[in-house]
Chain A
């Protein structure tokens, strides 16, 4: 298994370089360093000299990929791409274009993201599994039929509806929770309840249907028929045998998203004023801050690759028949 993990880590390096390159390419196709300087310096009284000074101070005065004024390896290392991207591999994120240290901001902002994402994940898991079990239990009845219709309806509505509708209902009409905001100092819970409830409700449609499919697939397997033929009740078959076996794909699916919880939710965080990494990414994009964008894309990619690796490992733990070679 260690060889497998080592090999996967090696595979990740060219993938990450490619992702870095694509981010760089896309960002600099839309922007030039001059525009990034202008975005930071403001719109008033910005002179060509001021832009040059800013670029020099932020190392944006280098050529993109090849520095013809340097020789040897310096021709490649003294370039914008190398200088801005390669340090990411050592998790040195550097400074944002506005001068703030990205690493420090990430360390501070990952906690609010986790504060939303972890309860959403686990509460969601309980709700989705329960609902899916209910539908599987009442399969081929009108409860299953209307349940699936409800799921499809929930899936079909934009997330914005749940956010704005939830804020309107729970905060404006019923006065139950603050409409937005975040307070890390002991007052956190009341800011988390509404975004977590809304996130869980929004996920009901897709997740329940997926879990329902898993359960139905399990139900049709031979061991279930054997269990029934032995005279076990439907409750025992479903909750003791089917649930346990169906949890393998569910849990390995959950493992995939675990590392990504750090990255937060772009929309939820923006609308609820949660100072997490999701809203950090949005801010970086809006401010055309390449420093933030490249760091967040890189971090997201690393976490995603890590998540996939964890999934593979979790397969071996969950199912002894699988070997990583």
Chain B
């Protein structure tokens, strides 16, 4: 009976659960609330929770997906134009550099670069730009900030930023941009670009040292005060001890009083009854007793007085002690507050000056044209000083309410739900001024509808919901079910989504086309390469032997084959360090690497294996045998991941030129250690562009950036004096035919020395649904969400059509379960029959 009830309960619970789901009035598998059905929302995902959303700290694409749409640096990239073009965002115009000599005289651009001592950029921002509503900016009627002096009791019930009742906003000023540049030097922020900008922006390095010193002093002050209070407390403990002492003295006084009254009573008794003394027959004895009693009474009275005084004193001390402890506690809180907050306004940064409310100047050492690109990155977004003060208050960090998790910006969106463990929601910033959708695009843009919204005010959507999804299968299925508006393609689902034609062209599969899915492909501004450690005895060096060995290996390593086998054709063979889209990149014959490829049949083709073998034979490695030792030449590949299929492929490539390869696979940490110590021989590495300038790639081969000697980004430790000299020249001159000439020369030197097998430039394939408008991949821009538009009615309809709940298999399962019970019942009946038979 009990069993039946339990079973019934289980099934009822399940049924209720199913019904509750069904009552949702939408597709059962819809992960979003039914109330959001027709709302103007973009649905996206994130695979990894961001490490920080502080614009001075954040430096990865998954973080930029959020803060790129919240913070506004002075510049950004045009959404449609290619090649990428910088345009003003909050700035009035893109600033022009003004060069100065060491005496402070303005130089014209024609002057010799050597005489430029520093360069200034004057940035004027637009008036009337407002911050999002934020508690840090909330003020009371008297104009005082409401939440800048929070006490522990004020934040007891606060768990997230939205729990503050009041918000405020104000106009964006140049001071906010200056505040942010100073934040790059803040010792608690740990900005990753401090090392670069410290060399570039005048005074930033000094400011960093000054701030660190200041912070240490404050910390020290706080710690010593903490120690002092601790010692004081240990010596004088708390008021309860005083109360005990007072009680003790009061008891003593009471006892003395009793004693005194006893003595008084005795004296009285003696006085009133002289016959008592007659027994003693001695006057002298009487006198003795009487004197003794008087003495005792006097002594006890004195004692009583002393004790009463002590009690009064203790009571006073108790009050003073309590007051002192309270004031020390207050002082400690104040010291903690100060130790956590640095008012950056009090510190001067020589290289950054405010000209007026809306204008500021940045001064860089010598010249650095790439600064303009940095001015389009979140690192140079404005942050109000009020936010620094607000977030530095004790108690907020413990609740994860920090600048790193609750941004404050002027952009089209603001973060309204911040749960990096599950969901992040960007909502339209009510104070956003609006920006017009671009009107200039290519013919292809027009044909694909990318200019349909030209001139309309953005943002187009009210909300963007990012859900945490770490695994590729759920992401892909949610896209197919219409619950994500766009998605990339992983290897498992590639064949389902894409057809590769005989000419290698990718097109959508019929099933995707039927769903109205669109696809855009673009070559990413990244390079994945194999590097040779130039400090290594075998593959390193600059002589003919080493050069030919590296060139031969580069010929043998067929990256086209790798792209086809391992990444479904999503990439192109790199011809040099520059990926497509970067200034100086050349396609076709002009951009071919002549040391690895030939131009045959009107296309780039890899040189023959025979040629590679000949290169090896020329330098004493005929048939893979080192002529000096007579032993086979063994090459080591240092890898940070173990992949048998890939390793098998590498082996095959080396075998083509009769070389043996061995793999030294370690975890990523050990791999990095090897790289820093120069212990690797051939390694795999990559780089994503920060900005579309060749400097951002060619610096990866610049000698003074060597990883081993200088701990820089030049992982191959390549150091060619001619290349280095040209790099310094190329770095500072504006884009021009002269710059192209220098770049070509540098690339040619690098190709000849072959410190890298140039590897591949990956292609990204993005799929999006027909209702998702204005999708155009942009490798550089971070504020692209405001351009996107969704046709919600089409989405809702598709979701319902694509996800009807199918219940018949459940019914079938129930029937099977019932049918499977039949033999059990038969067995049971047989058992009963057998039992009855046995009994009878």
Contact = CB atoms under 8 A, between A and B. Distances in A.
Contact of A99 (B187, B399, B404, B806): B404
A99 B52 contact: yes
Given A47-B195, A100-B405, A175-B804, A273 B190 contact: no
Contact of B51 (A32, A40, A137): A40
Interface in B787-840: 803-807, 809-810, 823-824, 827-828, 831, 835
Nearest to A37: B190
A188 B186 CA distance: 42
B271 interface: no
Interface in A95-129: 95, 98-101, 103-105, 108-109, 112, 123, 126-127
Contacts of B419: 275
Contacts of B805: 174-176
A241 interface: no
A182 B803 CA distance: 19
A47 to B, nearest CB: 4
A162 B806 CA distance: 20
B196 interface: yes
B469 interface: yes
Interface stretch (A2-10, A165-173, A313-321): A165-173
Given A50-B194, A175-B803, A270 B477 contact: no
A54 B190 contact: yes
A77 B276 CA distance: 76
Contact of B827 (A30, A138, A177, A273): A138
B831 A234 contact: yes
A255 interface: no
A179 B478 contact: yes
A278 B187 CA distance: 33
B33 A187 contact: yes
Given A174-B805, A271-B471, A183 B33 contact: yes
Interface in A39-70: 40-42, 44-50, 53-54, 57
A31 B669 contact: yes
B21 interface: yes
Interface in B297-352: none
Interface in B427-470: 467-470
A180 interface: yes
Interface in B192-213: 192-196, 212
B527 to A, nearest CB: 14
A98 B188 contact: no
B5 to A, nearest CB: 11
Contacts of B473: 164, 167, 179
Contacts of B59: 42, 44
B28 interface: yes
Nearest to A109: B421
Interface in B1-55: 1-3, 6-7, 10, 13, 17-18, 20-21, 24, 27-31, 33, 49, 51-52
A217 interface: no
B677 interface: no
B194 A181 contact: no
Contacts of B187: 53, 57
Contact of A180 (B30, B474, B672): B474
Contacts of B109: none
Given A42-B60, A100-B400, A179-B478, A174 B422 contact: no
A308 interface: no
Contacts of B471: 180, 270-271, 273
B82 interface: no
B3 A133 contact: yes
Given A45-B196, A273-B470, A167 B477 contact: yes
Contacts of A283: 49
A142 B824 CA distance: 9
Contacts of A181: 31, 422, 467, 469
Given A41-B192, A189-B17, A273 B467 contact: yes
B21 A189 contact: yes
A239 B3 contact: yes
B402 interface: yes
A48 B707 CA distance: 11
A81 interface: no
A172 B477 contact: yes
Contacts of A141: 827
Contacts of B31: 178-181, 183, 191
Nearest to A125: B6
Contacts of A31: 669
Pick from A184, A187, A279, A283 the residue with the most CB of B within 10 Å: A187
B672 to A, nearest CB: 7
Given A175-B27, A175-B805, 19 more contacts: A32-B669, A35-B672, A41-B192, A44-B713, A45-B196, A50-B192, A99-B402, A105-B400, A105-B421, A171-B29, A173-B806, A174-B805, A174-B806, A176-B21, A178-B29, A183-B422, A239-B1, A271-B471, A273-B474
7 contacts: A101-B400, A137-B828, A171-B477, A174-B810, A177-B29, A190-B20, A271-B471
User: Which 6 pairs across A and B sit closest by C-beta, in order of nearness?
Assistant: A275-B421, A178-B31, A180-B474, A275-B422, A47-B195, A181-B31
Interface of B: 1-3, 6-7, 10, 13, 17-18, 20-21, 24, 27-31, 33, 49, 51-52, 59-60, 187-188, 190, 192-196, 212, 397-400, 402, 404-405, 419, 421-423, 467-471, 473-474, 477-478, 480-481, 483, 667, 669, 672-673, 690, 711, 713, 803-807, 809-810, 823-824, 827-828, 831, 835
